[in-house]
Amino acid sequence: MSPPAFPASDDESVNSEAFRAVDRMREAMTGRATSGVSPNSLALALFDWSIHLASAPGKRMELVDKAGRKAVRLLTWLAASAAQRETPPCIEPLPGDYRFRAEAWRKQPFAFWAQAFLLNQQWWHNVTREVPGMAPHHEEVISFAARQWLDVFSPSNNPFTNPEILEKTFQSGGANFLQGFRNWFEDVGRLATGQPPIGAEAFLPGRDVAMTPGRVVYRNHLIELIQYAPATETVLAEPVLIVPAWIMKYYILDLSPQNSLVRYLVSKGHTVFCISWRNPTAQDRDLTMDDYRRMGVMAALDAVRAILPDRKIHATGYCLGGTLLAIAAAAMARAGDDRLASMTLLAAQTDFTEPGELALFIDHSQMHFLDSMMWNRGYLSAEQMAGAFQLLRTNDLIWSRLVHDYLMGERTPMIDLMAWNADSTRMPYRMHAEYLQRLYLDNELAAGRFLVEGRPAALQNIRVPLFVVGTERDHVAPWRSVYKIHLLADTDVTFVLTSGGHNAGIVSEPGRAGRRFRVATRRKDGTCFDAEEWALMADRKEGSWWEEWLPWLAGHSSPEPVPPPPMGAADKGYAPDADAPGTYIFQR
């Protein structure tokens, strides 16, 4: 007979919570020093790698063999280049690595240093990969950490081994270092005082960016809904509702007039509404994902439907906003809510089994660490999120800036997209914890286990046509992950793969040089191919994917244009208020 179980007393529960609070505070303080990266997560990966490598003599023998071969390869190339200056390099940088593209790197001894570094980088890739018995996630973490450490010692980052820096120093008499120090001092000062980067003041919302005319027609604690003024005599009957990500300010889709997606839609005869999210504070710590669905997507749909009765809506979601929109649409389909005419997802994931390099920062140890940091503040700060994104692209976002701004003494010209990227927001504690746990770790949405009001939100219930965009160089929502919507949706899916990254691939206005995309439609009863097969079969086109989306929207709209609708609906509680871009955009 088992002993009786005695419930914990209230005093014991309080004490247990107090002990847990001590751990949370310790982790929160540690997080300030590590930019939100869990040391325990890194230690677990290091231990997994080292113990399996130590017990794999065959792998170690292979690494010794590879080291010898690379040394012979380097020395053979060096001898050949001494006899023939035009000898091609023995190893080329990886795609997207532009550190050694200048012609000066072809001259000795700089060429030797660059080639030795690249071969060493390749060898360390072998060291951290395919270690027998190692967990795949730990393999990714160790390989990533090794790349970060190697980049510190890249000859491109050393003023004595970088020919471009040496040439600049010779030409300026060392003035580049003086100017670089001034640049560094200015950046440190701005960071310490919470000011935006130098040049960002030239892109003020409402004056230089986010300039499309409109009015705020609805506001609650979480969103402002902007209705944009018509620019044509007639419009398509069905409006477009844009749900942006709340990790950044909404105006990524309404930047400068020449690259504003909102302005482009309005100019082509669409009635456009867009959500502008509140920048949460510690008082908003208990906002949940369902609050974002109810007070965000559903409240906006209610407002649009009240302003335009009996008209269906083309719902469009970007990044996290697209994931939330997919959840809302699945719940609507389950409830028989047929207000949507179509759904467009821009760089938005619905299956998180392959979420890309962001998954490096999301495991159970890291999740507990982030949870403690958010518990302490009530939110995840913009600085902590920015640190993770910068680590994913250190060559582009950290080292190239160090070389260009501080060693060369030059300034990278500020552009609207860079200024927007610096205008970030916070993430409420409870919502972000739910998002990471339920989507990234447990993948509840793809598995059909994500509950909305106690019932599963199954994407298979969505029947409206889908237009889905992935970007080739997306480090936030890899296109192969975005493509998995084909495996989840039981409806027509038009998938577009466009050039560019997570932001620049979406902000891809017509007329921009070098733009291209691939597109194909899978009908509801059609065959589903894997991502690589799709990439080979899809139609290849030059130009902007915006020009592909426009006829698709028209094809799923009423054939007859209608007069532009009034601004808001005062008699229904949706009276026009502040001019676009509203007030939430200015919250700090």
Instruction: Say which of 90, 274, 319, 528 is annotated catalytic.
Output: 319
Contact residues for 21 (Cβ-Cβ < 8 A; gap 6+): none
Q: Integer distance in angstroms from the first to the last C-alpha of the chain? A: 61
Per-residue b/e over 189-225, b at no fewer than 16 CB within 10 Å? Answer: eeeeeeeebeebeebebeeebbbbebbbbbbeebbbb
- Mapped onto helix, strand or coil, the DSSP state of residue 562 is strand
The CA distance from 391 to 149, in Å, is 11
The yes-or-no answer on residue 528 being catalytic is no
The CA distance from 134 to 143, in Å, is 12
> For residue 271, which of 279, 282, 262 has the smallest C-alpha distance?
262
405 token code pair: 């701004």
The CA distance from 100 to 92, in Å, is 9
3-class SS letters over 304-370: HHHHCCCCCEEEEEECHHHHHHHHHHHHHHHHCCCCEEEEEEECCCCCCCCCHHHHHHCCHHHHHHH
Evaluated on CA atoms 347, 349, 352, 353, the torsion sign reads negative
- The residue written with tokens 């002990």 in the block is 19
Which residues carry out catalysis? 319
